[in-house]
A and B are shown apart, each in its own frame.
Chain A
Amino acid sequence: MNSVLVFALAGVGLIGLGLYGLLVQRHLLRKVLAFNVISSGIFLLLAGLARRAPGAEPDPVPQAMVLTGIVVAVAATALALAMMLALRSATGRTRLKDHGDED
């Protein structure tokens, strides 16, 4: 049991919590939050798996990939929030329509 494994498993936990939030929460802002939690979990898992060799220098390739991923996640979040606000101003709703919902 070492620290890196602890963080990789915490990453798995974050993916699980985020997926749960994404599936059960209806408010779109909460879904965006859940999406970001999933991405943080994936980044932790990726960087953790890249550091399995104890004591060695960290592998720069996964680090660069995570760095790229964080920036893309921010851009995706901004677009998702803008789409949520557009949906809200068009329909007055902040969640997706269920079966049986009337407008």
Chain B
Amino acid sequence: MAWLSLLPLAIDLVLALTLLWLAWRALTSPDLFRAVVLFIALGLVLGLVWVRLDAVDIALAEIALGAGVTGALLLAALAKLQPAESQTDEVAMMAPIALRLPIALLLIALLTGLGLVVWQLWVPAPGLSNLVDARLDEAGVAYPVTAVLLNFRGYDTLLELAVLLLALIGVWSLSTAPHLGDEEPEPALAALSRLLAPLMILVAAYLVWVGAYAPGGAFQAGSVLGAAGVLLRLSGWRLSLSATGWPLRLVLVLGVAVFAFIGLAVIGFGQPLLGYPQGWAKPAILTIELAATLSIGAILAALFIGGRP
């Protein structure tokens, strides 16, 4: 049964070809709506690929963010462009063939080169796993990816939270939130969101907690919270006017503020910036993760609503 050992490789080849085919169709489909739906499908297949690569964290984030939230953002933007834009003639929307052909040839040459480089680089390299494993005891969490995100490479994560906030400030400065009418939402959607929203909050809480020793953590949990916000928005729920002022803004900046505060406060204990004192890493990381989860969820939902309230 030697061919059985080839089965995983065959499945992975099919997955890889599906990825490329979906990407090609999403980029060239004449209908914009179809292009967006194909792009969401691409995100879902990509989630499967991440599972095949043993990267469960990335799979969670890819499906919740890459396929879910990005898809919702694209569909919402498309809905605002309708109806004038979606069916415009495609010939005018692409560069002329005389330009496309040289671009394609140039890219094929470039990408063949990149492919060859990847092929030649394909010798086993230890990477940074050993270094992470050696210091994991001091990290305060037992799961290496969370340790890298919140401890060893805390800078990246702090800056990333700042980037999220900056993107939201950018979106807010471009427009104000569309006023929702008072029409009743569809009963099925309303009932579904009443069932799903509490469940998603529970899943988010679980993901934050489990991130200390298994795949999970603030980003995945925040994505689920953000998706819950998108669902609630679609079913017509909105924040009361008194909550859209400073309480909302407080939740939005909570992640960056708590992370930056703890990162700076440790300097007072003789530690470097973002270096948690001995024995304090676990509570510090948990506090930062809880704050970051709330902020990420709120920012993603606010990005979807798209405009200053």
Contact = CB atoms under 8 A, between A and B. Distances in A.
Consensus secondary structure, chain B interface:
helix
A13 B107 CA distance: 10
A59 B127 contact: yes
Contacts of A84: 77
B70 A20 contact: no
B12 A3 contact: yes
Interface in B289-309: 296, 299-300, 303-304, 306
Interface residues of A, number: 76
Q: Is the interface of A mostly helix, strand, loop or mixed?
A: helix
Interface in B60-92: 61-62, 65-66, 69-70, 73-74, 76-78, 80-81, 85, 92
A16 B129 contact: no
Given A6-B16, A85-B81, 7 more contacts: A8-B118, A15-B111, A25-B94, A49-B121, A71-B296, A75-B303, A78-B304
12 contacts: A10-B16, A13-B16, A33-B35, A37-B23, A40-B42, A48-B118, A52-B123, A60-B148, A72-B160, A78-B168, A78-B306, A85-B77
Interface of B: 8-9, 12-13, 15-17, 19-20, 23-24, 26-28, 32, 35-36, 39, 42-43, 46, 49-50, 52-55, 57-58, 61-62, 65-66, 69-70, 73-74, 76-78, 80-81, 85, 92-95, 99-100, 103-104, 107-108, 110-111, 114-115, 118-119, 121-129, 132, 144-145, 147-149, 152-153, 156-157, 160, 163-164, 166-168, 170-171, 174-175, 219, 296, 299-300, 303-304, 306
Interface of A: 1-10, 12-21, 23-27, 29-30, 32-34, 36-37, 40, 43-45, 47-54, 56-68, 70-79, 81-86, 88, 94-95
